Each structure stands twice: as C-alpha cells, then as structure tokens.
C-alpha cells in the first residue's frame, strides 16, 4: 500500500510539474513567434518606406537633370556638356551603376562611365525601348541590358519648352553587382538571423543576400502572392527551400516591388527550448526530495497524501493553494511536503508570469513592446476611452551608433526610455515602437495635453547630456482619439505624419496633428 500511495503521490507531483513546464514552453514559444512576426513586419514596413522615399528622391533628381538637358539635347556640338551632365548625375547620387542620355530616336548621346562604349549606339534593350515609348517617369522590371548585365532602368523623359518629346535621361542598377539595394537592405538591423529580400510585381527576386538567387522567380509562395496583390502583413510560411519562415512583408508602391523580412521559425523559437531545459533542471531536485519523503512515511500519511495529490493534480486548472494549506498535516514531514508543493506551484506560476512579462516588455529599454502597445490601443478604442498618442524619434541616432558604437547607442535608448517614464503618469504607457522610435499612450488625455508632455520630454532631452557624452534631441508627433481618428492604425499614421513633418522642418520639435475627425 505504501508503494502505491508513494507512486500515486509522486505521479501527481510529476504531472503537475510536466504540465507547468509544458504550459511555460507553449507560452514562451508562442511569444517568440508573435514577437518575431511583429518585429519582421515593422522592419519590412520601415524598409519599404525608406526605399519608397529613396526612389521618389531619385526620380526627382532625374527630373531636375531632364530640365537642364532640354536645351543641350537640341543644340549640336554639345557632346562634352552632355557627357559632363551624365558624369555629374552619376556622382551626385550613389543610386546608379551607370547613367545614359538618349534622344527620341533611341540614339545614346552620352554615358557615365564612358567606358561602357555605348555612345552612338541605339537603345534597343527591353527596358530602354519601354521607357522611350512611355515618355513618363519609369522604373523597369529586371531585364538584360546591351552590356549583358541584369539591370533595372530608372528614367525621366526630356521635353522642350513647348512640350515636345526630346528623349530621356536614366540610370541603371546592376542587380548582380554591387548596387544601392545592397547598401540599403544588406545588413538586417536586428542581427538575429533575420534577412531581407525584394521581389518585383511578377515575383522575380531583384535583391537577395545570396546573389545566386537574384532573377529567380517565386510564384508559389503565399507571402509573394500577398505582395503581388498589394497587401502588407506578416505570416508563417514555407519557403521555396522547404524551410518554415516567420515573415513580415510590405509593398513599395512607386516601383511595385515588395520587401520581405523573415527569420527561420526553428531559429526564432530556439530560446524556448533553453528555457524549458532550465526549468526541468531546477525541478528535478524537488522530485527527488518528494520521492524520498513518500517512501519513508507513506503508511503514516496516506490520507493527507491523497488530498495533496488530488489538489496538486487539479492545480493546473485552478489555484488550489488555499485548499492545500487546509490539509491537516499533523506531522513534520507532511507539513514540509505541503510547503514544497506550494513552493513548486508558486515557482512555476512565477515563471509563467515572467514569460508573460517578457512577451509584453521590450528587453533592452524595459518599456512596453509593440505588441502590448497595439493591444492597449485596441482595448482603449473598443472601450471608447479618449486617449492621446505621442510618437517620437531620436534625431540623427544613426550618427550616435556610427560614432560611439551600438553598445553606447543602446545606453542612449535606455536613457530616453527613462526620461519618458519621468515625464509620464502612472497610468500612461511608454512603448518601444521599433529601432529608435518610441510611443507614449496617455489615457483620458487630449491632443493639447499630450503636446505639453511631449514638449516637457523634448526640452529635457535638449538640455541633458546623454550617455554618449553629448546632447541627443528628439522629434515628436501628436494625435488623439477620437479627436483625430477612430482607428488605432489611422491614429498612428497621423501621428507619424506629424513626426515626419517635425523631422522635415528641422528636428528637435513637436508637431500636433491638425486634422479633425469628421
């Protein structure tokens, strides 16, 4: 009988521990998956916006050049001037691997570099002919150029003062050689095994960390199909290499490209196995102690053990701490066992609480993370509670990282998070939006009140030396619900527009949203 009692009680303890460990593993695993998806989506959005802005600026530069070429292309004897303009345009921006100036008859008038040997030739490549026919700003799909390279051609038409078409000026990006896409997208910000690739509207890869995969067409991938349909988002997907990936994706409207930031699922959830092994290692001593105690005194503690076993088995569904404490353990050993069980259950409850905390907190700055911010905004919006939002960005933070290193940059981010908490109320929520961007959510606050909080923080930052040894300023945008928008995504977008305006107009300033919800 004593062996049976010992076995039953021991199994109860083990089942409780196993279920607790398994629950902890599931919570940890799902948290890591959700966090990776959210991180990759935010990073893909960021890169898509940056690339979109870069392409728009490139088209504007070409447009300015086209205006200056209008007179030169009509006059004879301007070969040197045309060559100089092509050379100037290539040196002005590091976007292009080469630059061409072409007249309306498809004759190449000038190139940079001149060593291309294309001057006087006809522009008969697929992208060149399409650009000449369109007579408008143009970003081609990948094609093989006259020099045999796989390229993308970006161009602007040239018109005279009467609107007559004279030709075009354009630049190329060599997809299988060193190019601007490698500079913009080459190294993933988080350096955690994630990587980025870019596809065009047909699913053809135009940038990939593995150059061998450039020009490969992927049309059976769910993420690529979503991008081809014009959607942004995040999902778990099996890629063309039969690997399960956690991918975030976003579109680049001007070029009709798509950016994908992804990480292998196996790599993303690896920390959950380490945590589980650690938990198992810490629970083994408790199991051994319980086994010894049960074997020695099983005859004397049959009834108390039965109760303890029962309450322990059901503790995975409901907290049974109160009932366990009421069990009459009139002898020392049973009392100690009861304490051990309570300690074990509390320990695993603490671990679960720890995992929940980890899933809602940014590990570096200890403020709320993006997932918690989204859930809070959704909850407040559904409750109809008025709140305001401050989105802020550290000015020229890249220079801090480049000058002082990423370790100092991390200290500056933590310093900003501390200052955010200092100007916030207890009920406010300080969140890390991504990178050097942060958000403060202020319940029961209008835009004017949020503006005052943002200004207090901004003035504090501009008057305080940061951990890098110099003053680092911030720019901020403000919007409020329901004053400016009725949906969290729209509210974030409006605040981000104000932040962009603050950056655009000189940095180190706060701009509130003027749009009113109607």
Give me the CATH number covering residue 184.
3.30.450.20
Q: Within a domain: residue 364?
A: no
Backbone dihedral angles phi then psi of residue 397, each to the nearest 5 degrees: -70, -30
Q: What is the mean pLDDT of the chain?
A: 84
Residues 210 and 348 in one domain: no
Q: Within a domain: residue 494?
A: yes
Distance CA 262, CA 259 (A): 10
Distance CA 70, CA 63 (A): 11
Instruction: Give the model's pLDDT for residue 156.
Output: 94
Question: Which element (helix H / strand E) includes 478?
Answer: strand 474-481
**Residue 20 vs residue 297, higher pLDDT:** 20
388-408 average pLDDT score = 93
pLDDT at residue 354 is higher than 60: no
Instruction: Give the model's pLDDT for residue 20.
Output: 72
pLDDT at residue 393 is higher than 70: yes
Q: How many residues comprise the chain?
A: 518
Residues 149 and 201 in one domain: no
Question: Which element (helix H / strand E) includes 157?
Answer: strand 150-159
Q: Within a domain: residue 24?
A: no
Q: Within a domain: residue 326?
A: yes
- The answer to whether 158 touches 69, Cβ cutoff 8 Å, is yes
pLDDT at residue 392 is higher than 60: yes
219-224 average pLDDT score = 86
Q: For 254-277, what is each residue's pLDDT tens digit?
A: 888 999 999 988 888 888 777 777
Residues 219 and 314 in one domain: no
Instruction: Give the model's pLDDT for residue 394.
Output: 93
Distance CA 22, CA 405 (A): 40
Residues 385 and 484 in one domain: yes
Q: Within a domain: residue 205?
A: yes
> Closest Cα partner for 432 from 418, 446, 422?
418
Residues 397 and 505 in one domain: yes
Choose from 178-187, 318-327, 328-337 the range with maximum mean pLDDT.
Answer: 178-187
The number of domains in the chain is 4
Q: Within a domain: residue 159?
A: yes
Q: For 79-126, what is each residue's pLDDT tens digit?
A: 888 989 999 998 887 789 999 999 999 999 999 998 888 888 999 888
- The answer to whether 14 touches 312, Cβ cutoff 8 Å, is no
pLDDT at residue 62 is higher than 80: yes
| Rg value, the chain, Cα | 31
Minimum mean pLDDT range among 90-104, 272-286, 307-321:
307-321
pTM, full prediction? 0.51
Instruction: Give the model's pLDDT for residue 353.
Output: 43
- The answer to whether 209 touches 260, Cβ cutoff 8 Å, is no
> pLDDT grade, residue 170 (50/70/90)?
very high
The Cβ of residue 489 has, within 10 Å, a number of other Cβ atoms equal to: 11
- The answer to whether 28 touches 275, Cβ cutoff 8 Å, is yes
Q: Within a domain: residue 518?
A: no
Which residue is associated with the tokens 């959510």? 441
Minimum mean pLDDT range among 140-149, 185-194, 232-241, 359-368:
185-194
- The answer to whether 254 touches 52, Cβ cutoff 8 Å, is yes
Residue 400 to residues 364, 392, 395, 405: CA-CA distances in angstroms? 17, 17, 10, 7
> Closest Cα partner for 250 from 236, 237, 238, 233?
233
Q: Within a domain: residue 20?
A: no
Last residue of a domain, one of 339, 359, 379: 359
> pLDDT grade, residue 291 (50/70/90)?
low
Q: Fill in the DSSP letter of residue 472.
A: -
Q: N- to C-terminal Cα distance for the chain?
A: 77
Residues 354 and 500 in one domain: no
Last residue of a domain, one of 340, 359, 378: 359
Distance CA 337, CA 305 (A): 9
Instruction: Give the model's pLDDT for residue 219.
Output: 76
> Closest Cα partner for 389 from 427, 430, 417?
430
- The answer to whether 272 touches 33, Cβ cutoff 8 Å, is no
**Residue 41 vs residue 281, higher pLDDT:** 41
Distance CA 282, CA 302 (A): 27
Within 13 Å, how many C-alpha atoms sit on residue 484's CB side? 27
User: Domain limits at 135?
Assistant: 57-174
Instruction: Give the model's pLDDT for residue 409.
Output: 93
Strand pairing partners for 165? 159
> pLDDT grade, residue 201 (50/70/90)?
confident
Instruction: Give the model's pLDDT for residue 153.
Output: 92
Instruction: Give the model's pLDDT for residue 301.
Output: 62
Residues 290 and 302 in one domain: yes
Residues 375 and 497 in one domain: yes
> pLDDT grade, residue 341 (50/70/90)?
low
Does residue 113 have a cis peptide bond before it, meaning omega lies within 30 degrees of 0? yes
pLDDT at residue 518 is higher than 50: no
Residues 346 and 199 in one domain: no
Q: For 3-53, what is each residue's pLDDT tens digit?
A: 656 676 667 767 776 777 777 778 888 888 998 899 899 999 998 898 888
> pLDDT grade, residue 413 (50/70/90)?
very high
CATH number for 396: 3.30.70.270
> pLDDT grade, residue 472 (50/70/90)?
very high
Residues 284 and 235 in one domain: no
> Closest Cα partner for 192 from 379, 39, 31, 331?
39
- 182-210: burial string, b at 16+ Cβ within 10 Å, e else: eebbeebeeeeebbbbbbbeebbbbbbee
CA 118 from chain center: how many Å?
43
Last residue of a domain, one of 236, 268, 300: 268
Instruction: Give the model's pLDDT for residue 1.
Output: 47
Choose from 20-24, 200-204, 301-305, 378-382 the range with maximum mean pLDDT.
Answer: 378-382
CA 18 from chain center: how many Å?
35
Residues 168 and 226 in one domain: no
Structural tokens at position 65:
């050049």
Distance CA 224, CA 198 (A): 10
DSSP helix/strand/coil, 431: strand
Three-class DSSP labels, 241-306: CCCEEEEEEEEECCCCEEEEEEEEHHHHCHHHHHHHHHHHHHHHHHHHHHHHHHHHHCCCCHHHHH
DSSP helix/strand/coil, 122: strand
pLDDT at residue 154 is higher than 90: yes
**Residue 291 vs residue 424, higher pLDDT:** 424
> Closest Cα partner for 9 from 329, 391, 243?
329
Instruction: Give the model's pLDDT for residue 346.
Output: 56
Residues 47 and 185 in one domain: yes
């Amino acid at each position: 009988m004593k062996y049976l009692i010992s076995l039953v009680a021991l199994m109860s303890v083990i089942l409780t521990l196993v279920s607790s460990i398994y629950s902890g593993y599931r919570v940890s695993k799902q948290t890591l998956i959700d966090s990776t998806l959210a991180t990759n989506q935010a990073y893909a959005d960021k890169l898509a916006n940056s690339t979109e802005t870069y392409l728009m600026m490139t088209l504007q530069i070409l447009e300015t050049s086209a205006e200056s070429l209008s007179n030169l292309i009509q006059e004879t004897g301007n070969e040197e001037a045309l060559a100089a303009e092509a050379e100037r345009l290539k040196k002005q921006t590091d976007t292009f691997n080469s630059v061409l100036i072409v007249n309306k008859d498809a004759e190449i008038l000038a190139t940079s570099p001149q060593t291309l040997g294309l001057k006087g030739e006809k522009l008969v490549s697929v992208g060149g002919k399409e650009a000449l026919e369109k007579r408008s700003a143009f970003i081609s799909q990948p094609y093989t150029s006259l020099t045999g390279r796989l390229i993308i051609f970006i161009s602007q038409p040239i018109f005279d003062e009467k609107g007559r078409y004279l030709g075009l000026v354009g630049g190329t990006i060599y997809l299988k050689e060193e190019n601007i896409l490698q500079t913009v997208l080459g190294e993933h910000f988080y350096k955690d095994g994630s990587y980025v690739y870019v596809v065009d509207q047909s699913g053809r890869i135009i940038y990939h960390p593995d150059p061998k995969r450039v020009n490969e067409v992927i049309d059976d991938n769910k993420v690529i199909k979503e991008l081809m349909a014009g959607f942004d988002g995040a999902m778990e997907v099996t890629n063309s290499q039969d690997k399960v990936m956690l991918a975030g994706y976003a579109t680049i409207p001007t070029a009709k490209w798509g950016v994908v930031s992804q990480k292998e699922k196996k790599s993303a959830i690896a920390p959950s196995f380490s945590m589980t092994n650690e938990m198992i290692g810490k629970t083994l001593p408790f199991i051994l102690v319980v086994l010894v105690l049960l074997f020695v005194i099983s005859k004397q503690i049959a009834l108390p053990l039965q109760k303890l076993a029962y309450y322990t088995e059901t503790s995975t569904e409901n907290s049974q701490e109160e009932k366990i404490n009421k069990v009459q353990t009139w002898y020392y050993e049973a009392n100690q066992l009861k304490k051990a069980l309570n300690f074990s259950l509390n320990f695993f409850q603490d671990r679960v609480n720890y995992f929940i905390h980890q899933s809602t907190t940014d590990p570096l700055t200890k403020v709320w993370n993006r997932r918690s911010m989204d859930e809070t905004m959704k909850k407040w919006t559904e409750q109809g509670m008025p709140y305001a939002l401050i989105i802020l960005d550290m000015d020229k933070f890249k220079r801090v990282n480049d000058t002082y290193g990423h370790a100092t940059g991390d200290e500056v981010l933590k310093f900003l998070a501390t200052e955010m908490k200092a100007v916030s109320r207890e009920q406010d929520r300080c969140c890390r939006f991504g990178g050097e961007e942060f958000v403060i959510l202020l319940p029961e606050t209008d835009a004017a009140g949020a503006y005052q909080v943002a200004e207090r923080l901004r003035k504090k930052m501009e008057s305080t030396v940061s951990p890098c040894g110099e003053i680092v300023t911030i720019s901020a945008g403000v919007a409020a619900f329901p004053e400016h928008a009725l949906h969290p995504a729209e509210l974030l977008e409006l605040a981000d527009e104000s932040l962009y305006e603050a950056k655009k107009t000189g940095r180190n300033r706060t701009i509130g949203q003027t749009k009113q919800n109607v």
